Amino acid sequence: MKSRYSVFSLIRNALKHHQDWPKVWRSPEPKPAYDIVIVGGGGHGLATAYYLAKLHGLRNVAVIERGWLGGGNTGRNTTIVRSNYLWDESAALYEHALKLWEGLSQELNYNVMFSQRGVLNLAHNQHDLRELSRRVNANRLNGVDSEFVSPQQIKELVPIMDLRENGRYPVLGASLQRRGGTARHDAVAWGYARAADALGVDIIQECPVNGFRIEDGRVTGVETGKGFIAAGKVGIVTAGHSSVMANLAGFRLPIQSVPLQALVSEPVKPIIDTVVMSGAVHAYVSQSDKGELVIGAGVDHFIGYGQRGSMPVTEETLAAVCELFPLFRRMRMLRQWGGIVDTCPDASPIISKTPVEGLFINCGWGTGGFKATPGSGWVFAHTIAKNEPHALNAPFKLDRYQSGFLIDEHGAAAVAH
Ligand code: FAD
Ligand code: PYC
């Protein structure tokens, strides 16, 4: 009976062309003033607004997005989630995020399809082996699940990988984080948006922030495509355009913005049920629930704002993927796209106050911020609400580039930049 009802419901809704469906969040006109304005409606911005409302009781909040929710890197990434970072500071931050992922669908009452299918990071040479074993040991000391697996164990996990010793990219071992995996990226944006909206947060799309009003060194609001909006505090979370925003506010960031690209293949039957990453050959693969291979590349070799990704990088990546998985040589690619990633010199993010009073910034996640989404929003909400960073993000202040307390995560970033 239940399934017949579902079929009729499906047909009825298909014929109605989505008419009269309830809106998942409101689309209000902006109010003249808010206590807090968050600039950027990606996962990090929406999560920040949600935790401001949920955990800090701050509900007079707006998220201002110039395009549509999740239209930036949130909807462009390859959805890999893990917490196997080298240094104590990063391990604590990313592990906090991973723990939030583990309860996120329940927290938001929205299925973010978090799938803990495990993440393998391959070692192709002696240097990789040493770097990965160092990181596995550091992870375990920090209570992050991580283990080292042999080629034999990899063969059991991923039978279709070419593990011959004379292969183009010999595989000498890998780190494995079993609690790592993937999630549905749009659902993360939509889930946070719906939950934040339900708590009273105004979500305003198609509204670019074009400037900041600053009086006596303090931010008093934002100039937008829909006019001036006053704000007691402002949080900038505009991955890919962080330097542009900082420039508008009159300070500088140590960031370079580069295109990063990904591709999906035609769908096939289930053939790989874990995530495989290779930092050395700049390629990583997982299989989506639709059956497509989700393939990612390294960054382009030049700075730019084109959301495409260049052909030589596509070629290099696909060549490497075909070496590692000879079976994929006959597959066709369906789509390719890019996003702009803001990279910091130490491959770690900035979650910080700024030189402007009341103005906060969360940026520089480079190629790896999707995995941090819940944790990033959680600590950024704390920082804005309390005017002070939480212990988890205190090491990620902007002034570390003056003090020299850098947190070098180039190895763990795993995607070269
Ligand atoms: P975004 O989703 O980009 O949100 C920022 C928002 O700000 C955008 O919606 C944008 O429109 C808006 N905005 C910009 N300027 C303005 C303005 N002036 N006014 C108003 N709004 C503005 N990370 C992982 O952990 N795992 C991965 O597997 C992974 N794969 C990746 C693959 C690719 C191809 C790319 C490009 C990135 C990948 N990343 C990955 C990185 C990850 O996607 C980002 O770090 C993360 O999504 C950043 O989230 P966000 O919410 O800060 O940014
Ligand atoms: O940070 O795990 C990661 C990642 C995978 C692909 C791009 N970034």
The DSSP code sequence of 152-167 is HHHHHH-TTS---TTS
For the Cβ of 241 lying below 6 angstroms from any atom of ligand 1, the answer is yes
3-state class (DSSP) for residue 54: helix
Does domain 116-180+257-343 fall under CATH 3.30.9.10? My reply is yes
Determine the pLDDT at residue 4.
55
Determine the pLDDT at residue 1.
40
Residue whose CB lies within 8 A of the most ligand 2 atoms, among 73, 76, 77, 179, for a mutation test: 77
Domain boundaries, the chain: 24-79+186-254+346-413, 116-180+257-343
Q: What is the spatial distance between Cα 31 and Cα 28, in angstroms, rounded to a whole number?
A: 8
* Contact (Cβ atoms closer than 8 angstroms) between residue 69 and residue 205: yes
Determine the pLDDT at residue 368.
97
For the Cβ of 339 lying below 6 angstroms from any atom of ligand 1, the answer is yes
What is the amino acid identity at position 7?
A: V
In the chain the first and final C-alpha atoms are separated, in Å, by: 55
pLDDT along the chain (417 residues), means of 10: 64 77 93 98 98 98 98 97 98 98 98 98 96 97 98 97 92 98 98 98 98 98 98 98 98 97 97 96 94 96 91 95 96 96 97 98 98 98 98 98 97 81
Which residue minimizes the CA distance to atom 1 of ligand 2?
Answer: 368
Determine the pLDDT at residue 5.
59
Task: Give 393-411 as a DSSP string.
Answer: TGGG-TTHHHH------HH
Q: What is the spatial distance between Cα 363 and Cα 44, in angstroms, rounded to a whole number?
A: 9
For the Cβ of 67 lying below 6 angstroms from any atom of ligand 1, the answer is yes
| Residues 24-79+186-254+346-413, CATH architecture | 3-Layer(bba) Sandwich (3.50)
For 154-198, the pLDDT digits (tens) are: 999 999 999 998 889 999 999 999 999 999 999 999 999 999 999
Rg of the Cα atoms in the chain: 22
Ligand nearest to the CA of 260: 1
